[in-house]
A and B are shown apart, each in its own frame.
Chain A
Amino acid sequence: MPDETTLEGWAPEIGGGLTLAEVVERAFDYRGNVTVVRTDGAEVEGYLFNRAREVPAPFVQMYDRNGDGPLTILYAEIRAIRFTGKDMAAGNSYAAWLRARDAAKTTSGAPPAAGA
């Protein structure tokens, strides 16, 4: 994913053209932790790895920050989702690695580690 398209830090307002289902889809596609705010105000931060939309009671599934889970949360219980964790698929582009590799070759002759 190109760095400029990362959703890291995004805190969308649900309503006004953006539905909960759309935000859930973005969260499902996001390779970082998100914070799910429940309708009762409680918050769960973790990795949202699954969602089921086309079932009688749509739900998401998460592992929390400690890796515990899976937790199942109904769409009906979600007030908001914030993209609070680091996007693990961003900021590590192949182009950046090539640039770093070329720079390293001119100095030491050894390629850098990925993500450098």
Chain B
Amino acid sequence: MSVPLSQMWAVASYVLGQRLRGRRRYPLVLMLEPLFRCNLACAGCGKIQYPPQILRKHLSVEQCLAAVEECGAPMVSIPGGEPLMYPEIGRLVRELVLRRKYVYLCTNALLLGQKLAEGLFEPSRYLSFSVHMDGLREEHDEAVCRAGVWDDAVAGIREALRRGFRVTTNTTLFEGANPLRMREFFDAMMDLGVEGMMISPGYSYSKAPDQEHFLRRRRAHELFARMLANPSRRWKFNQSPLFLQFLMGKQDFECTPWGNPTYNMFGWQRPCYLLQEGYASSFAELMETTRWEQYGRRSGNEKCRDCMVHCGYEPTAVHHAFASWRGLRDTVVATVTGRL
């Protein structure tokens, strides 16, 4: 685990506070999508297929901050679209840092060097660039459907690290991923000097161009079990070790769809970051009127059957760590020993 102690403490005290208040459902990470526009068109992405007038639009900083306040989650992830194309990304991040929110700015890093040179950001323990890296050069460039992106992303990572920023990577895996190549990739990212890595199987967006290469549950367990077997001591993951164990088939978790609520120009997305079944006009309406029992694997919902994506299961893993002594013990042991 590579999450800084201050962040661990902030999350732990938040979760314990929610539990002490008896709140059964609470958000952990706000997924804030200020825009859908992107400078890539990756085959596995279902986020950007909109008419031009929608792609031209974006939220105002004030709308973003109101959503952050309303939600109250201690962490804010800014995906998109490509957030570095958001005209006010510098001001948005500054405001979030002022509010002591832990910000993960999810970027393909194509514009990262340019934005850093413009002085848009300042290093902070609250800000991490979470760079999209779907493997080594060949695999990544194929996943993003453009040659040269891996090299640009590595250059962006190097520049951010040189300037003292926190940098993590986020990796989505699809059918056909090679465990040995992924282990080489983990080594390569550690050699680069990133703080930690995040990995997750992809979700089969109904709108994604690629429908044939999404991992089914059993195959996903096999893949992650091979990929993470006897993990190198050098590898640092910026996510719960229990979630990694879940990916390997060592933990049986249910989805927590309200754990990472999503806000964008359409409102609060029901029920989660991945499914688009409608929008609520407020966070309270989302939480109170969504029929949560219709989602998650045990619900029998076909759309949830094979989903193992971090936005639904990482909140479960974090909750599990604080819900029982066994969960806490498993988390501490995996964190201290590095064994999964």
Judging by beta carbons under 8 Å apart, are A113 and B146 in contact? yes
- The answer to whether A35 has its CB under 8 Å from any CB of chain B is no
Judging by beta carbons under 8 Å apart, are A50 and B56 in contact? no
Judging by beta carbons under 8 Å apart, are A47 and B51 in contact? yes
Within 8 A of B (CB), among A35-77: 46-47, 49-52, 61, 63-67
Judging by beta carbons under 8 Å apart, are B43 and A47 in contact? no
By Cβ-Cβ distance, the 4 closest A-B pairs, closest first, are A94-B210, A114-B145, A114-B41, A67-B53
- B40's nearest neighbour on chain A, judged by CB, is A114
Known contacts A97-B145, A111-B146; decide if A47 and B50 are in contact (CB<8 Å).
Answer: yes
B208 to chain A, nearest CB (A): 8
A: residues with CB less than 8 A from B are 1-2, 28-29, 31-33, 46-47, 49-52, 61, 63-67, 85-86, 88-89, 92-95, 97, 101, 110-115
Contacts of A86 in B (CB 8 A): 51
Within 8 A of A (CB), among B36-54: 40-43, 46, 49-51, 53-54
Known contacts A66-B53, A114-B145; decide if A31 and B266 are in contact (CB<8 Å).
Answer: no
Judging by beta carbons under 8 Å apart, are A46 and B278 in contact? no
Judging by beta carbons under 8 Å apart, are B209 and A93 in contact? yes
Within 8 A of A (CB), among B144-179: 145-147
Q: How far is the CA of A1 from the CA of B207 in the complex (A)?
A: 6
Beyond contacts A31-B51, A112-B145, A114-B145: 12 other A-B pairs, Cβ-Cβ < 8 A, are A1-B206, A31-B49, A33-B51, A49-B266, A49-B279, A50-B266, A52-B278, A94-B43, A111-B141, A114-B42, A114-B146, A114-B209
Contact partner of B53 among A1, A50, A63, A115, CB < 8 A? A63
Known contacts A33-B51, A63-B57, A94-B212; decide if A50 and B278 are in contact (CB<8 Å).
Answer: yes
Contact partner of A31 among B141, B207, B279, CB < 8 A? B207
Contacts of B279 in A (CB 8 A): 49-50, 61
Judging by beta carbons under 8 Å apart, are B209 and A92 in contact? yes
Q: How far is the CA of A52 from the CA of B267 in the complex (A)?
A: 13
A110 to chain B, nearest CB (A): 5
Within 8 A of A (CB), among B182-240: 206-207, 209-213
Judging by beta carbons under 8 Å apart, are A97 and B43 in contact? yes
Contacts of A29 in B (CB 8 A): 206
Q: How far is the CA of A85 from the CA of B209 in the complex (A)?
A: 19
Judging by beta carbons under 8 Å apart, are A85 and B51 in contact? yes
Contacts of A92 in B (CB 8 A): 41, 49, 209
B33 to chain A, nearest CB (A): 13
Contacts of B49 in A (CB 8 A): 31, 88-89, 92
